[in-house]
Chains A and B, each alone.
Chain A
Amino acid sequence: MSSQVLIGIYQPGDTILHRLPVGVKMSGLGLLSIAIVVIRDARAAVAFLAFTLVLAVIGRVRVAALVKASRAVLLIAVIAALFQWWLKGPERAVETLVDLVALALAAVVLTSTTAINTMLDAIIRWIGPLRRVGVRPDRVALTFALAMRAIPGTIEIAQETRDAARARGLGKHPRAFLSPFVIRVVARAYETGDALAARGIGDD
């Protein structure tokens, strides 16, 4: 699973979504996410999903990116929905499933229409005044970028580790998965740290 599966990948373009200031887009995503989570209604969930799809069409986001994002989040969404079905009934289950897919697609629309460096520049501008209290905006922005990269990277490591355990006939042993998984995640963190240090990122 590559990084574009969950977070989308920037697709250059000249649509209105591409031209919108990054602050408007990130605030919009924030507000939409809050609305999706707060409004507890299956019809509203479907409306939010439809709205997100309209945004995807306006931003000319590739269908493949949307499908991949939906697929990636679907497993978690189905498990969460089943749990909700058991606790609160079918309507809440549908709402949960549709909400999660809508949230994932909204995130993909943002990352597909906004270059990550543009987001980093915006974050640095926004938290610039906090320099006075010792905050390093460059580092905060870099942390944000690394977090976006780390999520799919960690999922990739989990899949590889699970496959390796299965190949050795140890698919059902939690320790055969967890120990190497944790070690590999920590090792990847060290490698990334070394790579950033070698490129002089964080030296300033």
Chain B
Amino acid sequence: MIGGNGSGKSTIARLINGLVTPTSGRVIVDGLDVARHGAAVRRKVGFCFTDPAAQLVMPTCVEDVELSLRRHEKDGDRRRERALAVLAEYGLDHLADTSVHSLSGGQRQLLALAGVLAVGPEIVVADEPTTLLDLANTRMIGERLYGLSQQLVLVTHDLDLVLGCERVLVVHDAAIVFDGPADEAVGHYRGLVTEGAS
């Protein structure tokens, strides 16, 4: 999803995860009504925020991943093993006992993603995950996201990043004004911006 600030992209993203419930109409995710089956929907849909600092709530990397796994693994030792395995998968195992505050922006976002993916969601919603990152980290996170086996719903202002998507929605003034291939969507969005400026 691409579109200007305040157009409604993040609201749509949050509707998919049940963080926001609709005031009218229904949001159905994989056959589940988000308003009625919020917990079940959240087990299927992982959510990655713009600012990982808000998402990382435990002091160290491994403890934060363990927090995600608490519902799935009650045994503390096995939970730690699984968390360490997740960190290794993302190349963060050497930072397992490091404070989440000491990480770089890219590492923090990668850790937030690892925490989301640790519980095996079927869908990943990423709300502007590269907005706070430099170019190198944007590429790294982009490659990670596009490498996922899960369905990815990406909200972004990065028009280069969005070109990797199969389908792109352009959101404008709380409405979807275009739904189609990435290159055409970017063209449509540029047109909207040009019209707005003139």
Complex: how many Å from CA A146 to CA B39? 21
Q: How far is the CB of B89 from chain A (nearest CB, A)?
A: 18
What total of chain A residues lie within 8 Å of the partner, measured CB to CB? Answer: 33
Q: How far is the CB of B41 from chain A (nearest CB, A)?
A: 9
Q: Of the 9-residue stretches A3-11, A48-56, A101-109, A166-174, which lies at the interface with chain B? A: A3-11
Contacts A7-B59, A192-B54; A121 near B76 (Cβ below 8 A): yes
A117 touches B79 (CB 8 A): yes
Report which of B42, B76, B99 forms a contact with A117, defined as CB distance below 8 A.
Answer: B76
Complex: how many Å from CA A153 to CA B156? 28
B59 touches A149 (CB 8 A): yes
B59 touches A116 (CB 8 A): yes
Q: Of the 9-residue stretches B22-30, B66-74, B145-153, B168-176, which lies at the interface with chain A? A: B66-74
Complex: how many Å from CA A194 to CA B57? 12
B42 touches A198 (CB 8 A): yes
Q: Is B189 an interface residue (CB 8 A)?
A: no
Report which of A111, A198, A200 forms a contact with B49, defined as CB distance below 8 A.
Answer: A198
A10 touches B60 (CB 8 A): yes
Please tell me the size bucket of the interface on B.
20 to 34
B71 touches A118 (CB 8 A): no
User: A199: which B residues are within 8 A, CB to CB?
Assistant: 42, 46-47, 55, 67-68, 115-116, 119
20 sampled A-B residue pairs with Cβ under 8 A: A4-B101, A115-B63, A116-B59, A116-B60, A117-B66, A117-B70, A138-B70, A145-B57, A146-B57, A149-B57, A194-B49, A195-B54, A197-B19, A198-B19, A198-B46, A198-B49, A199-B47, A201-B70, A203-B71, A204-B71
The chain B residues found within 8 Å of chain A, CB to CB, are 17-19, 38-39, 42-43, 46-47, 49, 51, 54-55, 57-60, 63, 66-68, 70-71, 76, 79-80, 97, 99-102, 115-116, 119
The chain A residues found within 8 Å of chain B, CB to CB, are 2-4, 7, 9-12, 111, 115-118, 120-121, 138, 145-146, 148-149, 188, 191-192, 194-201, 203-204
- In order of increasing CB-CB distance, the 4 nearest A-B pairs are A2-B101, A191-B54, A198-B47, A203-B39
